[in-house]
Structure 1
Amino acid sequence: MKKVAVFGNTGGGKSTLSKRLSEITGLPLHILDKIQYQSGGIEVPREEYLHAHQQILMSDRWIIDGFGCKETLWLRLDEADTLVYLDLPLYVHFWWVNKRLMTGFFKPPEGWPSKSPLLKSSLNSYRVLWLCHKYLTPKYREYIKEVETTKSIYHIRSTKDISQFFELIENQINFKDGASA
């Protein structure tokens, strides 16, 4: 596990999972929302984002959290050796978007640029939620089937799978540390 792409529908806990995975593995974390948007939710110029994304892909080790854009999504998934696909039931994604909106008034959402417009961004999340479920989710599922023999894939389908994922990763790291000692 050297190049990890964390992806899935909005409100699925990608940023929280990515942050914890980075802490466990020591891999550098790159949050696409913070690369694609400046403070206040202002989008950076497209070429600047594309260049930053390409620089990350060329590095030896990374965790990339988020969607970015269609152009960079498939490049990133192809370049990654490990895919973490958060494919929770739609109602969980919806509930977590609601939760993020409510708690966001007290604490900025994990992985969002500072001073992001909470209400506007949350309303956009509700729109994206259905569009992603309808159009991207089937493509994501098809993609992971196509590459299952060439990449490590963690297809997380429930909240229980999230805790099992971390147990598995921690056990793998502990095993490697014990084997190298």
Structure 2
Amino acid sequence: MNKVIVIGCPGSGKSTFSIKLADLTGLPLVHLDLLNWNSDGTTVDREVFLERQKTNLKKESWIIDGNYGASMDSRFQACDTVMFLDYPLQVCLTGIENRRGKARPDMPWVEDEIDQEFIDFVKAFPETGREQIISLIDQFSDKKVYIFKNRHEADVFLEGLADCKDVL
């Protein structure tokens, strides 16, 4: 496990999971949101984002946190391990609500307001983004894939890694 992507519906806790995974493995962590967003809430040019991603994909090891469906294929090609947080929609919507107004290490600004366009995107994720992820998992069957259906499963996985780390 040297090149890991962590994907899932917005609000599923990809960044939180990735931070814990990075702490346990020592792998460098890349948040795609930090490659894409400016601190004023605007995005960088698409070419800039793709070049930043490409630069990180060339590195020897990493954990990359985030979806960005238009460029997900390149991350699937480059990774050896996929962590898919495949949680129910309501869990993700609650996750979004709970992070509002809080500073996060994966975003260059604090989300203070409800963005209805974003909420609509999240509500459509099970039929859009999830289907794309399942298709890519099927397409890249040579990858080690972990699919977590709830936060407890993800926590148990991380606890197992911590236990293994203590033994080594």
**TM-score greater than 0.5 by the shorter chain:** yes
State how 1:88-107 maps to structure 2 within 5 Å: 88-101=87-100, 104=101, 107=102
User: Which AA in structure 2 matches 1:64?
Assistant: I
The verdict on how the C-alpha distance between 1:151 and 1:69 changes in structure 2, with shifts beyond 3 A counting, is: closer
CA distance in 2, matches of 1:40, 1:116: 10
- What residue number does 1:64 align with? 64
Report the identity percentage: 29
- What residue number does 1:157 align with? 149
SS of match in other structure, 1:85: strand
User: Which AA in structure 2 matches 1:89?
Assistant: P
The verdict on how the C-alpha distance between 1:85 and 1:62 changes in structure 2, with shifts beyond 3 A counting, is: same
- Please identify which structure carries the higher helix content: 1
TM-score between both structures, scaled by the size of structure 2: 0.90
Larger radius of gyration: 1
CA distance in 1, matches of 2:144, 2:166: 18
Deviation at 1:143, TM superposition (A): 2.8
SS of match in other structure, 2:127: helix
Gapped runs of 5+ residues in structure 1? Answer: none
TM-score between both structures, scaled by the size of structure 1: 0.84
Q: Which residue of the other structure, out of 93, 106, 117, is the alignment partner of 1:111? A: 106
User: Which AA in structure 1 matches 2:125?
Assistant: C
Match status 1:133 vs 2:132: no
- Runs of 4+ aligned residues of structure 1 deviating over 6 Å after TM superposition are none
Pairs aligned (count): 168
Gapped runs of 5+ residues in structure 2? Answer: none
Deviation at 1:68, TM superposition (A): 2.8
User: Which AA in structure 1 matches 2:135?
Assistant: E
